[in-house]
Amino acid sequence: MKTIPIPYHTGTVPLHLEEEQLAAVITARTHGFDPQMGETDIIEHALRNPIGSRPLHELAAGKRDIVLVTSDHTRAVPSRLTLPVLLREIRRGSPDARITILIATGLHRPTTVQEQRRMFGDDIVDRENIVVNDAFCPGDFVDMGRLPSGASFCVHRLAVQCDLLVAEGFIEPHFFAGFSGGRKSILPGICSAETVNENHSFHAIASPFAQSGVLNQNPVHEDMLEAARRVNLKFIFNVALSGDKQVIAAFAGHFEKAHAAGVEFVRSLAQCPRTEGDIVVTSNGGYPLDQNLYQSVKAVSTAAMCCREGGVIIMCCGCADGMGGDNFEKLMTMGTPREIEQYLSGIPPKESIPEQWNVQVYVRALKKHTVILVSDNLPPEKVKAANMVPAQTPDEALAMARGLVGDQARVVVIPDGVAVVIA
């Protein structure tokens, strides 16, 4: 009997299965990667050696209004380590600069002050000027025309009006933008709901290039790149993280060149060969990405690439924050997967509904696979209404899955489905 820990909320839950039934454990090499340097040294080294750009302190020299975009409470950016260093470098070049930390929420709920204290530390929250993006407040945004797809481009006015725009984030595989980080701090990070909705339209997400690990010809990525160019995103600082959310690499400099270097590093560790299973067990890598069902689609989309048609995906997700947004819950529970997909396919890009994209990818998986959700925070009736099967533990879910596909089922385990790119 083999025991495999599956990330769940801030800990793990055990999965027990016989060795002969285990087809593969697919794990990104970011897990257990030894960078040969401490986190602080990695961060400082990247800032001293920017890619395709002058150092941040030189860019800041003579600038008065500087905006530093950071991520929200749903992301694992180690801002307690990175923000103080970025602020130091900005003030090294411009001691009297007016700095605004702009939290990129996309369409997520606002980041609370309590969450800011956890993310940034009390000193930054008490001393710095922090603004939380609100995509649903039209007066906060400036219309900057159209993006390559034809989507409107409305971005936070602070990003347009500042003398220097800087962003921090982290790079990992993303289920329809290819990879996170870089340009995503701008779109969807600090854009209006209208712009995000169009960028994430059914048509865009349906592209065969809008998937994990793919940037070339990806229409979602291409609009994001143009958005970052249009607002003159001057400098980024992105990190790569291990499975336990430790910094293993950092990339600073020009937003395209530094991000490209980071993507290649992450790809080299994240890309794994496909092994097909009758049952695939996965998770979102635990907190913070498993706070709700909405985010869980990231690992489900990875698992679907390894699950045979008619097979079972077991998704372990804490869901401490419930289902996610109201639109996500409404759409996920409005009918069968095929009915939901048909409804979404009829929505024009300019009328896209917030959160429909995660539903679109979810029902794509649900059409071909049974999804069993392991969560002790969602009522079973809500899980069933969303076309999934509820379970309390991975072992209970595995027993259910075997009842559906047979006792001799081959099991593939992807402990952190977000961290992996299936080749």
Where helices occur in 131-208 by DSSP H, the ranges are: 157-161, 193-199, 202-205
Given the DSSP bridges, would you call strands 307-316 and 370-374 parallel, antiparallel or unpaired? parallel
State the CB neighbour count (10 A cutoff) for residue 393: 17
* φ, ψ for residue 46, nearest 5 deg: -65, -40
CB burial string 261-283: b at 16+ within 10 A, e below = bbbebbbebbbbeebebbbbbbb
- For this structure, is 369 an active site residue? no
Dist. CA 305–CA 301, nearest whole Å: 7
Dist. CA 308–CA 312, nearest whole Å: 8
Radius of gyration for the alpha carbons in the chain, expressed in angstroms and rounded: 21
- For this structure, is 254 an active site residue? no
- Give 236's strand partners: 167, 253
Q: Note the Cα 309 to chain centre separation in Å.
A: 26
Give the DSSP letter string of 19-54. GGGEEEE---TTTT---SS-HHHHHHHHHHS-BSS-
Please choose, from the candidates 30, 67, 266, the residue with its C-alpha nearest in 3D space to the C-alpha of residue 168: 67
Which one from 174, 200, 221, 254 is the annotated catalytic residue?
174
282 sits in which H/E element = strand 277-283
Which one from 9, 73, 108, 369 is the annotated catalytic residue?
108
Dist. CA 399–CA 117, nearest whole Å: 42
Q: Outline where DSSP puts E strands in 344-386.
A: 370-374
Q: Note the Cα 397 to chain centre separation in Å.
A: 26
Residues 6+ apart with CB under 8 A from 413: 4, 6, 15, 22, 24, 25, 26, 280, 281, 282
- Give 8's strand partners: 11
Active site residues: 108, 174
